[in-house]
């Protein structure tokens, strides 16, 4: 036994429902997985409770504390953390060239990398994010520093060596020399991270990461796809994020970017494509057929997405959806903030935003999602995206949890559903009292 937690909490039961686990004992084995979830009336409850107490491994929640699965951030640009909240009024291409690329070029300095990544990973853990899917930089050494900081702060990271080799679309000072250079640096990062993992407590995963279609040559895309297959690795990129990106693919290739990425071998059940606000039915059919996940970044999409992601339509299309903060296109590292924004954006899609249009015509009917669906995206959807047994509280799953203190309002009785809603809408960083990754305390 690595840990036992006594108390109440929530886990997703489906895309629209939650399960309330009332006064149970969660037993975590020494491999960091949930061994059992025991109700008070089960035969072995008393004996295991006593065992946990005697071994000083019991965590007892107070009356207004609840456990939840750790959140899974499926899209975050780690080097952009210092820019969070800056220049969000700029068009995407200006934001990239004037703010993003100059900052990312600074990560040749490994001391700067360590300072930023230590702060970032600690902040994310403090917000209840136990797993994060990161874009790194074009510098393998810096990305290895990010992996070290994830391990130091006990966060599970899936880390991308960013590839960008097109000299016409990338700044001269922040550019891979060629497609061969992109592929070689990615392979080097994979091999060196594998070595680093031999001493890591929390194993980190390399991710094949072409930045997006405008940044990469077709030769680089195909070579990266070969590496993904050779090493059986996750893949991440951006897809149909904005009018500019969408238009680039159509103008240069006469095809949508999803089609080009698919033809290069980058669209499969290990692939996570960020944003997708402009995906059409043909794209969604491709995503469904190939098992590709969309990372929904609701805060960032307000600024750069040129549209609202139709979450319910995509889920009804049987396409998996995760949730992402997209630092620094999104200003907040909190997945709780993105849970809330995903609900708000869905309501705007349903109601419509141009009041000059008749109310019956300006919105998209049946678009609103609930907090339960947003919670599903932040937990189960993210776990499906990375193909790991996490994001749910059930036997056999990794013991990635957060313990949250609810701030009750003592005016009227609250049901378990009421408490859940309050947790989703009102939880702050200070309310997250503890975080565990594989049963090891990270906060």
Q: What confidence tens digit (pLDDT) does each residue in 268-306 have? A: 999 999 999 999 999 999 999 999 999 999 999 999 988
Q: What percentage of residues in the chain have a pLDDT greater than 90?
A: 93
Residue position matching structure tokens 């930045």: 211
The domain segmentation of the chain, as residue ranges, is 3-69+390-441, 71-386
pLDDT digits (tens, 9 = 90+) for 204-228: 999 999 999 999 999 999 999 999 9
> What top-level class would CATH report for the domain 71-386?
alpha beta
Mean predicted confidence (pLDDT) in 68-82: 98
Which class does domain 3-69+390-441 fall in?
Answer: mainly beta
Q: Distance between CA atoms of 121 and 157, rounded to whole angstroms?
A: 9
The token duo for 387 is: 């193909």
Name which of 319, 256, 257 is nearest 289 in CA terms: 319
How would residue 410 be classed by pLDDT, with cut points 50, 70 and 90?
confident
pLDDT given for residue 242 in this prediction: 87
The tens digit of pLDDT for each residue in 321-356 reads 999 999 999 999 999 999 999 999 999 999 999 999
14 pLDDT more than 80:
yes
Mean pLDDT of the chain: 96
| Those residues with Cβ within 8 angstroms of residue 173's Cβ, 6 or more apart along the chain or in another chain | 101, 105
Neighbours of 408 (CB within 10 A): 12
Is the pLDDT at 408 greater than 80, yes or no? no
pLDDT, tens digit, 9 for 90 and up, residues 229-273? 999 999 999 999 989 888 999 999 999 999 999 999 999 999 999
Kindly report the pTM of this predicted structure: 0.97
Q: Is the pLDDT of residue 31 over 90?
A: yes
- pLDDT tens-place string over residues 51-67: 999 999 999 999 999 99
Distance CA 269, CA 305 (A): 24
- What's the pLDDT tens digit per position in 144-188? 999 999 999 999 999 999 999 999 999 999 999 999 999 999 999
- In 3D space, the residue among 437, 372, 413, 439 whose CA is nearest the CA of residue 150 turns out to be 437
Mean pLDDT of 120-137: 98
The pLDDT of residue 407 is 82
DSSP 100-149: IHHHHGGGGSHHHHHHHHHHHHHHHHHTTEEEEEEE--S-HHHHHHHHHH
Q: Which pLDDT value is given to residue 47?
A: 94
């Amino acid at each position: 036994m690595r840990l036992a937690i006594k108390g109440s909490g929530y886990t997703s039961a489906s895309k629209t429902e939650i399960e309330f686990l009332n006064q149970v004992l969660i037993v975590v084995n020494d491999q960091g997985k949930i061994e059992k979830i025991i109700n008070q009336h089960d035969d072995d409850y008393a004996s295991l409770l006593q065992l946990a107490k005697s071994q000083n491994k019991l965590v007892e929640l107070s009356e207004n504390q609840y456990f939840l699965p750790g959140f899974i951030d499926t899209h975050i640009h780690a080097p952009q953390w210092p820019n969070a909240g800056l220049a969000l009024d700029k068009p995407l291409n200006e934001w990239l060239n004037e703010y993003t690329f100059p900052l990312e070029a600074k990560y040749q300095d490994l001391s700067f990398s360590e300072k930023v990544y230590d702060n970032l990973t600690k902040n994310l853990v403090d917000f209840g994010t136990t797993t994060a899917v990161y874009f790194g930089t074009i510098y393998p050494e810096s990305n290895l520093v990010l992996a070290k900081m994830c391990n130091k702060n006990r966060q599970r990271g899936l880390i991308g060596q960013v590839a960008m080799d097109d000299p016409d679309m990338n700044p001269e000072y922040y550019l891979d020399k060629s497609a061969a250079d992109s592929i070689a640096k990615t392979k080097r990062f994979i091999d060196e991270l594998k070595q680093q993992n031999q001493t890591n407590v929390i194993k980190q995963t390399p991710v094949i990461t072409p930045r997006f279609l405008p940044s990469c040559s077709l030769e680089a895309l195909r070579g990266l796809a070969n590496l993904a297959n050779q090493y059986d690795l996750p893949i991440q990129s951006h897809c149909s994020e904005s009018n500019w990106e969408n238009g680039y693919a159509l103008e240069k290739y006469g095809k949508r970017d999803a089609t080009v990425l698919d033809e290069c071998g980058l669209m499969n059940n290990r692939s996570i494509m960020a944003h997708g606000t402009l995906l059409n039915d043909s794209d969604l059919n491709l995503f469904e057929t190939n098992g590709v996940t969309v990372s929904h970044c609701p805060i960032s999409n307000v600024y750069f997405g040129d549209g609202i992601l139709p979450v319910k339509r995509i889920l009804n299309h049987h396409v998996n959806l995760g949730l992402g903060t997209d630092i620094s296109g999104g200003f907040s590292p909190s997945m709780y903030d993105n849970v809330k924004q995903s609900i708000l954006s869905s309501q705007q899609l349903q109601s419509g935003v141009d009041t000059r249009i008749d109310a019956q015509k300006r919105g998209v009917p049946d678009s609103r999602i609930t907090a339960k669906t947003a919670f599903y995206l932040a937990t189960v959807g993210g776990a499906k995206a990375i193909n790991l047994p996490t994001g749910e509280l059930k036997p056999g799953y990794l013991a990635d949890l957060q313990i949250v203190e609810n701030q009750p309002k003592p005016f009227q009785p609250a049901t378990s559903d009421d408490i859940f809603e309050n947790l989703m809408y009102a939880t702050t960083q200070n309310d997250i009292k503890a975080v565990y990754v594989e049963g090891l305390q990270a906060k």
